[in-house]
Structure formats: structure tokens, C-alpha cells
A and B are shown apart, each in its own frame.
Chain A
Amino acid sequence: MILRNEIVMLEVTTDWYLTLAAILFSIGFLGMMIRKNALIMFMCIELMLNAVNLTFISASKHFGQVDGQVFVFFVLVVAAAEVVVGLAIIVSIFRKQSSASVDVLNVSRG
């Protein structure tokens, strides 16, 4: 009976969303550090950006203000711009080195 009540009482508070966002950010960080492929490192950056977006949205709901959602919109646009430029850089590096591994990159001269 007590267990049943506990299940009914289980309420999703803002802490849960923040914890989920923190886990997502940590996974993105781990992937950024252990992978060598530049493309997959970019995907890990996307994971971390999305974790931050989730904190913005949950805080926006928590405080009842729409500004958090506007900020998420800005983060989305910056992420899109970053992906466009980053992938163009990866393609042009791949033409030169025929590899997308970050360990073979030891010159910043084009």
C-alpha cells in the first residue's frame, strides 16, 4: 500500500531535468575526450550544447519566464553556424590529409 502511494506521489521536479542534463553533458565530455574522429567529436559538442539547452528550458519552466526559451533559440542558431563552418573545415582537411583523425593535424597553415 505504501509502495503504491509512493508511485502515485512520484513527482518530476526540476532536479530530475537538471540531473538528466548533467548526465548528458558528462557523456558528451567523455566522448569528446576518448574519440579521435573529428566528426564524432563534433557530435559530442552537439550533445553538450543540447544538455545546456535542457537546463535552459527546465529553468524557464521553473521560473515561469520565456527568456530561457529565447536563449535556447539563440544557442540553436549558433550551433547550426558552428556545425556548418566546422564540417567545411573537416572536409577541406580531409582533402589534404585524407583522414579525419585529429591526431594527424599538426599544422594550422592551410
Chain B
Amino acid sequence: MVEALLFFAPASLIIIGALIVIFAKNPVHNAMGLVMTLVSLAIIYITLNATFVAMVQMLVYAGAVMTLFLFVIMMIGVDKKEQTTDSIKGQTFLVSGVFLILISLLAYVAISSDFKWDLWFPPVEFDAEGTPQLIAGALFTEWIFPFEIISLLLIVATAAAIALAYDTKKRNSNA
């Protein structure tokens, strides 16, 4: 019972937050909806024994990435009206149709008894928590090469962001 509550409470918050992200008009509200989704996802990760990932989710996503989003929203300004006309005719109608098909397919898969993940692949009894120790054990032995590439990617991304956001004309005229 508690297990079900720990699933359904964050799950409903996730879906409400996601709907706020796509339907709110004010960009700050969208960002706050995204924060709600990300924090609720972290709760779900904890119930799935992924403690380290939940922690990183809070720090990196709900902390750093959202701060970056809010900074850019403040730079760009929130008072700009978003244009709502379709550039491709009937775009919104078409996409809503595709969305409805996706959702009804999902509902069928979730409700019908032919698609039971647990019957196809029986779950393993594994209660070990995804502690930093356990993750590091896998990360620094089996996954060491992807880890190095990821660190290279971060440096490249940082340099690229600085190069893109640097206003060359303004600096030259000031100097």
C-alpha cells in the first residue's frame, strides 16, 4: 500500500508538471513545472533503489540546469508574446492526432494482459541500493572509456558555449 502511494503520488506530480511545461504561457511557470517534474522523478528514483542517481538528478537537473534555464529566461525577457499561428497548415491538429494515437496505444499496452513485462522477463530479487560506491565500481572499471569521453565532451561544450555567447562586435567597439 505504501509502495503504491510512493508511486502514484510522485507519478501524478510528474504528469501535472509536464503538462504545466507544455501549456503554461509564462516561461517562468514552464520552468517551475519542469522543476516539479524533476524533483518528483528523483523521489521515484529513490523508491527504485537508485539513490546516487536521485542525488545527481537533484543537483544537476533541478539545480544547475534549471538555474541556467532561468538565467536565459531573464536575459531574453518574459514579456514577449509567443506567436500562435501555425506555419505549417493544420500542424497543431495533426500533432494532437498523433499524440492521441500514441496515448491510446499506450493505454492498450498498459491495460491488456498480453504485454506483461514481468511475465516475459521475470524480475530479479536484488535489493542492493545504487550507492555511490556501487556506481563508482562499475563506472571506473567497465565504463572507464565512456567516462573519459564524457569529460572531454563537457570541456568542449563549455568552450563552445563561451565562444557562442561572447559578443565579439561589442567587445571590439568598447576596446
| Cβ-defined partner of A19 (8 Å) among B37, B60, B87, B106 | B106
Asked whether, in the complex, the Cβ of B138 is within 8 Å of the Cβ of A67, the reply is yes
A3 within 8 A of B: no
Nearest to A19 among chain B residues (CB) is B110
Asked whether, in the complex, the Cβ of A36 is within 8 Å of the Cβ of B106, the reply is no
Set of chain A residues within 8 Å of B102, measured between Cβ atoms:
26, 29
Which among B7, B50, B56, B91 has the greatest number of chain A C-beta atoms within 10 A? B50
Asked whether, in the complex, the Cβ of A79 is within 8 Å of the Cβ of B22, the reply is no
Set of chain B residues within 8 Å of A8, measured between Cβ atoms:
1
Tell me which residues from 1 to 46 in chain B have a Cβ below 8 Å from any Cβ of chain A: 1, 3-4, 7, 11, 14-15, 18-19, 21-22, 27, 30-31, 34, 37-38, 41, 44-45
Set of chain B residues within 8 Å of A67, measured between Cβ atoms:
138, 142-143
Tell me which residues from 52 to 110 in chain A have a Cβ below 8 Å from any Cβ of chain B: 53-54, 57-58, 60-67, 69-70, 72-74, 76-85, 87-92, 94-95, 99-101, 103
Tell me which residues from 46 to 74 in chain B have a Cβ below 8 Å from any Cβ of chain A: 48-50, 52-53, 56-57, 60-61, 64-65, 68-69, 72-73
Binding site of B, secondary structure by majority: helix, strand, loop or mixed? helix
Interface size on B, residues (CB 8 A): 84
Which residues on A are within 8 Å of B, measured CB to CB? 7-8, 10-20, 22-24, 26-31, 33-37, 39-40, 42-44, 46-47, 50, 53-54, 57-58, 60-67, 69-70, 72-74, 76-85, 87-92, 94-95, 99-101, 103
Cα A103 to Cα B91 with chains together (Å)? 13
Cα A1 to Cα B101 with chains together (Å)? 38
Asked whether, in the complex, the Cβ of B15 is within 8 Å of the Cβ of A27, the reply is yes
A12 CB to nearest B CB, Å: 4
13 A-B contact pairs sorted by A residue (CB < 8 Å): A35-B82, A39-B72, A40-B27, A57-B50, A63-B121, A63-B123, A70-B139, A73-B53, A74-B146, A76-B60, A76-B61, A91-B72, A94-B75
Cα A109 to Cα B62 with chains together (Å)? 34
Nearest to B139 among chain A residues (CB) is A70
Set of chain A residues within 8 Å of B83, measured between Cβ atoms:
36, 101, 103
Nearest to A68 among chain B residues (CB) is B50
Cα A109 to Cα B156 with chains together (Å)? 21
B118 within 8 A of A: yes
| Cβ-defined partner of B68 (8 Å) among A36, A74, A83 | A83
Nearest to A41 among chain B residues (CB) is B22
Cα A19 to Cα B103 with chains together (Å)? 10
Cα A71 to Cα B164 with chains together (Å)? 29
Asked whether, in the complex, the Cβ of B53 is within 8 Å of the Cβ of A14, the reply is no
Asked whether, in the complex, the Cβ of B48 is within 8 Å of the Cβ of A73, the reply is no
Set of chain A residues within 8 Å of B175, measured between Cβ atoms:
none
